[in-house]
Structure 1
Amino acid sequence: MRVFKFGGASVKDAEGIKNVYDVLQKVGYEDVLLVVSAMGKTTNALEVVIKDYFEKSSALKSSVQEVKKYHNQVLLDLFEDDKNPVFKAVQAHFVELEYFLSHNKSPNYDFVYDQVVSYGELISTTILAHFMNHMGIKTEWIDVRNFIKTDSNYRDATVDWDLTHKNISKNVKRKMLNITQGFLGSNENNFTTTLGREGSDYTAAIFAYCLNAESVTIWKDVPGVMNADPRYFENASLLNQISYREAIELAFYGATVIHPKTLQPLQKKEIPLYVKSFINPLLKGTSVSKGVNLEPYLPCFIVKRNQLLISLSSIDFSFIMEENISEIFSLFHQFKLKVNLIQNTAISFSVCVEDKFDNFNELNAILSKKFKVDYTPDVTLYTIRHFNDSAAQTVEQGKKVVLKQISTETMQIVTVE
C-alpha cells in the first residue's frame, strides 16, 4: 500500500481538488491511502472562530459563516447539481460544529481548539471523497479519530501506538482508494485531539508504519526538499536524495518541508519517503531513505523567525550549575517554550526559544526571582548544516549577529535585523 499526503495548498479550491484527481490518474490510486489537510487557510479561519467564541464576540456567527461560505463556493465550483449528497454531508459537519459552540461547557482553551479546528479536515476529506466518487473512483472515507488513539494532551497529543496499530492494521480496506484526515486523533473518551500544527505528515507516517506501506509521498507546491527556503534565499537547489538521519537533523532544526515527528516511524521500518510536486507529479522529487548520501552535497539553510533570545545570569555571580539548568528546563517545559539553541558559560545561560503559546511573561516573573533575565524578542535563528565560510557570510551579511554557535557539521547564528 502507498500512503499519499496532500496539504492545504493542494486542496485550497475546486481546481486543487480536480488536480488531486489528475495526480491520481497519473500515478495510480489502487491500494492507496490519502491523508488530507484542511483546505487552504481554513485552520486559520477556525482559529478566528475560537477567538470569537472565548471573547463571547458578536462576530462569532459571522466568523463561522465565513468558513461555510468558503467551502460552499468550492462545492458549487465542483458539483453542478446542488442536490448532490455532498452538500448535506458538509452541512452535517457544520451543524455539529455549531452544536458544540452552543453547548460546550469546558473553559479549557486547548480542548475547545481541538474540537473546533478538526472540522477543517473533516470537511475537506468529505468534499474530496465525494468528488472522487463523482468522477468514478470508488473511495472509502475514514474518520481518522476511530483509528489514531492518543492521550489527552490537547493540541500536541501523544499517540497510543499499540491501540493505533491494532485499529489500522485490522480495519483499513486494501485494494481501493482510502481517504482520511491528517492532524487528528481521539482520546479514550473519544474527544478529538490534534497531533501538533502541521501534523498531517505525521499522520501519513503513522498509517504507513501500521500498514507496512511500500512508501509515503508528501505532495507539495515545490519540486521536493530544497537546501533553503526560496522565500529567503536566492538560487535554492533541489536535494535529490537525503538519508533519514539527515532529514531528521534538518527537521530537528526546523526545516518545514518534513514534520519533525514524521521520520522516526518510517525509519524503523525503512519505508522510503518521497517529497514531490503536485504541479508536476511525474518529476522524481526528493527521496528520503536509509543510508544514502546527501546529493548534491550542499550547505542547507533553515530559518526560524520570531524567536526569543533569553539570557539568564545568577544574581550573586555564582555558577549556573546542573541543578539550576534542570530547574530552568523544567520551567520551559511547563510553559511550553520550545528551545532551539543553548549556550552557557560559568555564570550565564542563553537560549533561543519559540514562545508560540505566549507564555513568556508569566515565565519571566518566576525566573526573575532567582536570576537576572535579559531578553531580546523577534530575533531570527539561522541554522546551516554542512556550513562553509561562504554560507556563513551569506547569512551574516547586513545583519547584527548576537550569538553564534558552531559544531562539526552545524552552525547556528542568531541575528537582529
Structure 2
Amino acid sequence: MKVFKFGGASVKDAEGIKNVGRVLESQGFENCMLVVSAMGKTTNALEKVVELYFGKEDFQHEITNVKQNHFDIADGLFSEKHPVFEEIKLIFDEISSFLSRNKSPNYDFVYDQVVSCGEIISSKILSAYLNQINFLNQWMDARDFLKTDDSYRDGNVNWEKTEKYISNFQRNICYVTQGFIGSDENNFTVTLGREGSDYSAAVFAYCLNAEAMTIWKDVPGVMTADPRKFKDVSLLSNISYEEAIEMAYYGASVIHPKTLQPLQQKNIPFFVKSFLEPEKNGTKVGMTDQNEYTESYILKENQVLIRIATRDFSFIAEDHLSLIFLLLAKYKIKISLMQNSAISLALCVEDKFNNIELLKAELNKQFNIEFVKGVSLFTVRNADLSDLNKFYQDKKILLEQISKQTIQMVTH
C-alpha cells in the first residue's frame, strides 16, 4: 500500500481538489491511502475561533465565515443537492454546539476539539469528489485508529494500540483520512502539533508497512534552502534519513521533525514531490548510494534567546540545569540551540504554546535572566568552513556555534 499526504496548499480551493484527481491519475490510485490537511488557511481561521471564544467575543461570526468558504469550494465541485453540503453544515453545527456547552477551561483541550474539524471537512470533500470522478475510496476517521495520550495540541502516539487498530485495514481498498489528529482513551480529539499531518502519514505508513510514502508540496522537493527566503536554491534529489532528520530538526519547514523516524525504522522510501508537476522525480529520502551532502541553509524565525546566570557568580551546575530543563518541559518550550559557560547558559528556544512569560517568571525567582524575543536561528548544513566570512555578512550575531560542517547563528 502507498501513502500519499496532501497539505493545505494542495487542497485550498476547488481547483486544488480537482488537481489532486489529476495527480492520482498520473501516479495510480490502487491500494493507496490519502492523508489530507485542512484546506488553505482553515487552521488559522479555526484558531481564531478558539481565541475569540476564550476572549468572550463573537466567535460565531468567524465560524460562519469558515463555513461559507467551504460551501464555496464545494459549489465548485458538486451539484447543489450533493449530500456533502449537509455534512459540512453538520460539522460546523457541532463546533457551535460544543462551544455553547463546553465547561472546560483548558485552552489546549478546546483548541483540539475545534481546530481538528478543518481536517474532517477537507477529507469529506476530497473523498466525495474522488468518488464522483470514479476514484473509488472509503472515507475514514483517523481518530478511530490513531490513538494518543491526552497531551492536547502535542499528542504522543500510543504505538501499541495504533498498530493494533490499523492492522485490521483491508488492503484492497483505497482510503481518504485526516492528518494532524488522533484521539485519547476517552475518544476526545488530540492533535499532533502544528504541521503534524506529515507525521500522521508516517504513522500510517509504518503501521501499514507501506511500500512508499509521498508528501505533495508546492515546491519541487527538498531544496538547499527555502526559495521564499533565499536566492539561488537547488533541488536535493537524494538524501539520507539522517540528513533529512537533521534538516527537519534545525527547522527545514518542508519536513515535519517527527516524520522520518518511523519511516527509517522500516526503511520505507519517502518522497517529497510537487503537486504542480507530479511527473517530476522530486526528492527521495532513504538508503541509497547517491545521497547528496550539499551546503544547505535553514532559517528558523520567531525564536527567543534566553541568557541565564547565577546571582552569586557560582558555576551553572547539574542542579541548576536540572531545574531549568524541568521548567522548559513543564511549559513545553523547545530548545533549538544551547551553549553554556562556567556561570551562564544561553538558550535559543521556540515558544509554540505562548508560555514564555510563565517560564520567565519562574526563572526570575532564582537566576539573573535576559530575554531577547523575535530572533532567528540561521543554520548552515554541510558548510564549507574555508570561507566563513560569507556567512557573517549583514548579520547581527547574538550567539554562534560551529561544529563539524554545521554552523549555527542566532541573529537579530
When the two structures are superposed, what TM-score results if normalisation uses the length of structure 1?
0.97
**Secondary structure at 2:167's aligned position in 1?**
helix
Map of 1:346 onto structure 2: 342
- 1:79-94 map, 5 Å: 79=78, 81-94=79-92
| 1:384 maps onto 2:380 in alignment | yes
Cα distance in 1, alignment partners of residues 360 and 48 from structure 2: 28
Map of 2:54 onto structure 1: 54
- 1:354-365 map, 5 Å: 354-365=350-361
Map of 2:70 onto structure 1: 71
Cα distance in 2, alignment partners of residues 140 and 40 from structure 1: 23
% identical equivalent positions: 56
| TM-aligned CA deviation for residue 277 of structure 1 | 0.4
Map of 2:126 onto structure 1: 128
Map of 1:8 onto structure 2: 8
Whether contact under 8 Å (2:145, 2:165) holds in the other structure is yes
| TM-aligned CA deviation for residue 263 of structure 1 | 0.6
Cα distance in 2, alignment partners of residues 371 and 291 from structure 1: 49
Map of 2:244 onto structure 1: 247
Deviating more after overlay: 339-348 vs 360-369: 360-369
Whether contact under 8 Å (2:67, 2:88) holds in the other structure is no
| 1:259 maps onto 2:239 in alignment | no
- 1:110-129 map, 5 Å: 110-129=108-127
Map of 1:29 onto structure 2: 29
Whether contact under 8 Å (2:60, 2:96) holds in the other structure is no
- 1:135-284 map, 5 Å: 135-170=133-168, 172-284=169-281
Cα distance in 1, alignment partners of residues 281 and 291 from structure 2: 16
Give unmatched runs, 5+ long, in structure 1: none
Deviations 1:352-401 (A, max 9, x none): 01122222222212212211111211111111111124875444211111
Cα distance in 1, alignment partners of residues 252 and 242 from structure 2: 13
Cα distance in 2, alignment partners of residues 87 and 360 from structure 1: 42
Change (3 A) 1:317 1:190: same
Whether contact under 8 Å (2:385, 2:405) holds in the other structure is no
Q: Which amino acid aligns with 1:321?
A: A
Deviations 1:194-223 (A, max 9, x none): 111111111111111111100000000000
Cα distance in 2, alignment partners of residues 63 and 33 from structure 1: 32
Whether contact under 8 Å (2:295, 2:381) holds in the other structure is yes
**Secondary structure at 2:148's aligned position in 1?**
coil
Cα distance in 2, alignment partners of residues 368 and 101 from structure 1: 37
Map of 2:399 onto structure 1: 403
| TM-aligned CA deviation for residue 85 of structure 1 | 1.1
Cα distance in 1, alignment partners of residues 361 and 27 from structure 2: 56
| TM-aligned CA deviation for residue 7 of structure 1 | 0.1
Whether contact under 8 Å (2:384, 2:405) holds in the other structure is no
Deviating more after overlay: 270-279 vs 92-101: 92-101
Deviations 1:90-136 (A, max 9, x none): 11211211211111111110000000011100000000011011111
Deviating more after overlay: 189-198 vs 391-400: 391-400
| TM-aligned CA deviation for residue 291 of structure 1 | 5.2
Deviating more after overlay: 334-343 vs 11-20: 334-343
Cα distance in 1, alignment partners of residues 83 and 404 from structure 2: 59
Cα distance in 1, alignment partners of residues 72 and 170 from structure 2: 32
Q: Which amino acid aligns with 1:355?
A: D
Whether contact under 8 Å (1:241, 1:286) holds in the other structure is yes
CA RMSD of aligned residues (A): 1.2
Cα distance in 2, alignment partners of residues 396 and 293 from structure 1: 31
Cα distance in 2, alignment partners of residues 394 and 54 from structure 1: 47
| TM-aligned CA deviation for residue 283 of structure 1 | 0.3
Change (3 A) 1:237 1:393: farther
Cα distance in 2, alignment partners of residues 354 and 27 from structure 1: 38
Deviations 1:292-334 (A, max 9, x none): 4532x32111111111111111111111111111111111111
| Count of equivalent residues | 412
| TM-aligned CA deviation for residue 403 of structure 1 | 1.0
Q: Which residue of the other structure, out of 363, 369, 374, is the alignment partner of 2:365?
A: 369
| TM-aligned CA deviation for residue 179 of structure 1 | 0.2
**Secondary structure at 1:308's aligned position in 2?**
strand
Cα distance in 1, alignment partners of residues 120 and 408 from structure 2: 39
Cα distance in 2, alignment partners of residues 161 and 97 from structure 1: 29
Change (3 A) 1:238 1:281: same
Change (3 A) 1:320 1:40: same
Deviating more after overlay: 209-218 vs 366-375: 366-375
Map of 2:317 onto structure 1: 321
Cα distance in 2, alignment partners of residues 156 and 291 from structure 1: 33
Whether contact under 8 Å (1:34, 1:178) holds in the other structure is yes
Q: Which amino acid aligns with 1:357?
A: F
Deviating more after overlay: 326-335 vs 178-187: 326-335
Give unmatched runs, 5+ long, in structure 2: none
